[in-house]
Chain A
Amino acid sequence: MLDAFSLLRAMNGIHEEDVVMADKLFDSKKPARARAKRIVTLALAAALILALSAGGYALFFSMSHRVPDPEETYRIHWEDSPSGYIEWKNVGLAVTFPETEESHAIEFRPGWLPEEMASLQGDWVSRLTAERLCFEGDPNFAPAYDDMTQPMLIESFAMSQFNQGGALLLLDYTAGAVTEETWVDRNVDVLYFSASIHFDANPEHDLPERTLVQNYVLLSNPEAGWVVRIGGELDLETLLEVAHNLEIRETGEILRYEDFTDHFALFNAGAG
C-alpha cells in the first residue's frame, strides 16, 4: 500500500545536489534573533571603528568569496540543455553578495580604454565585449590581440539576482590570490584576481603545452545593489585602469530576485 510513510521514506530519492542546495540556503540564513543580535554587534563595532578611522567601511565589504570543493555541484540554468540546466563541478571561485531586495539597474561607458580599443568607446551600455576586435576588427588593432579570444568583457549584474544561494562562478580555472579594496572616490567595493588553466601538450592535434590566463575585476555598490564585472585576457593592470575610469549611471529600473531566471552568472562565460 502506498501510504504517506512510504512516500516520506521515498524522499531518500531526492538528489544529493538538491539536498545540498536546500541545506546551504537554510544554513546560510541565521534565525532572526541571532541575526538581530549580529546586526547590533556589527553596528556597534562599525560605529567604534568609524570613530577611529576613515577606513571603517571595510567592515562592510559587500562581496564574499570562497573556493568550493571540486565535487560541489552547481545547477546552472542552461537553455540549450534538455532539462534546462547543467550541473557543473570544479568551480574555481564562487563570489556571493548580501541579500538585496531591490537592485538599481545601471548602464556604463568606458571613460578610458587602451588606444587600440578606441572604437568601443561611445554609447551607454550594460554589456560591452571586445571579442569582435579579435576577429573582424580594424586590422591595425588585431595583431595586438592575436592570441586572445576575449580581450575584455564588461557586464553589469544586480545583487538581487544572486539572492537565495546564487553566485558568480569561475568555472574550471584556478583563481590566484584575491585582492579586496574599497575605492572611496568611486564609492565601490572592488575585488580582483588572476585565474589560470593549464593544458598538457596534445600531439594528436598539434597543440603545445600551454597555460591560459584570464583576469577579473569586480565592482560592487551595496547601496544601489549593482555589480560590474570587467574581465578578459588583457593584463590585470589594464583592466583595473578600465574599471577605475568606468562611468556608471542608474537607468531608473528596479530589479528584484523574481526578475531573473538565472541565479548564477559566470566570470568566464566566454565571448559573445
Chain B
Amino acid sequence: MEDAAIVDLYWERSDQAISETEQKYGKYCNTIAYNICGTREDAEECVNDTWLSAWNQMPDKRPAVLSAFLGCITRNFALNLLKARNRHKRGGGEAALALEELSDCVPGGIDVERSVEERELERAVGRFVAGLPQRERAVFVLRYWRLVPLAEISERLGFSQSKTKSMLFRTRKRLRAYLQEEGLC
C-alpha cells in the first residue's frame, strides 16, 4: 500500500492503519530499535509504542515521508529506553558503539540548555549532514540515524570496513569542527 493511503487510514481512524504500517515498516522500525536496544523484547516494545504514537499524532500531522517519520519515533523510544536502563554504559546494542564513536565530537564540559539548544543542535546536525557528499552522507545516516552495524554498511555499499571506518572518522572530525564553529560544542 502507498504511504499516502496508509496516512489516510490514520486520518480516517481506521484500525487497518496499524496493520498496514506494521506490514510495510515493521521490519524497518524493529531493526532500528534492535540496533539501539540490543534485545528483541525491547525492540518489540519500542515498535509497539511507535504504532501507538503514530496513531496519536495523526491526524494533526501528515508526514511527508512515512518511513522517516516512523523511524524517528522508534529512535526516540529506543533511546529513551536505553537511557532509562542506563544500558549504554554497559554496552548494549549498536548504540553503545555509536556512542563511543560520537564521543570524539563532544569532549564535554559545556552545558546545553535543554529543549531550545537541543533543537538547535538537531538543526545543526541536519544542516551538516545535508552538506556532505552523497556517499559520506549515506554512510553517516546509516550509522548514526539507523544505527546499522559497520560491517553491514560496508557489505551493502561495497566498501571495505576500514574504508567505512575512515570515512566515518573524517566525517565525525568535520562534525566536531562544525559544532564548534556553531558554538554548540
Contact = CB atoms under 8 A, between A and B. Distances in A.
Given A22-B137, A32-B155, A8 B144 contact: yes
Nearest to B71: A19
Interface string A1-38: 11111111111111111111111011001111000000
In this complex, the interface size class of chain A, counting residues with CB under 8 Å from chain B, is 35 or more
8 smallest CB-CB distances across A and B, nearest first, come from: A13-B122, A22-B141, A13-B126, A16-B68, A4-B102, A16-B65, A22-B138, A10-B121
Contact of A11 (B108, B110, B125, B153): B125
B126 to A, nearest CB: 4
A9 B79 contact: yes
A165 B135 CA distance: 10
A178 B69 CA distance: 33
A69 interface: yes
A3 B79 CA distance: 14
Nearest to A163: B158
Interface stretch (B39-47, B92-100, B161-169): B92-100
A12 B157 CA distance: 23
Interface residues of B, number: 58
Contacts, number: 142
B137 A21 contact: yes
Secondary structure of the A contact surface, majority rule: helix
A173 B111 CA distance: 51
Interface string B55-87: 000000000110111011001100100010000
9 contacts: A1-B109, A2-B106, A2-B108, A4-B105, A5-B83, A7-B121, A9-B76, A14-B125, A19-B68
Interface of A: 1-23, 25-26, 29-32, 69, 71, 75, 83, 99, 164-165, 263
Contact of B130 (A10, A15, A71, A165): A15
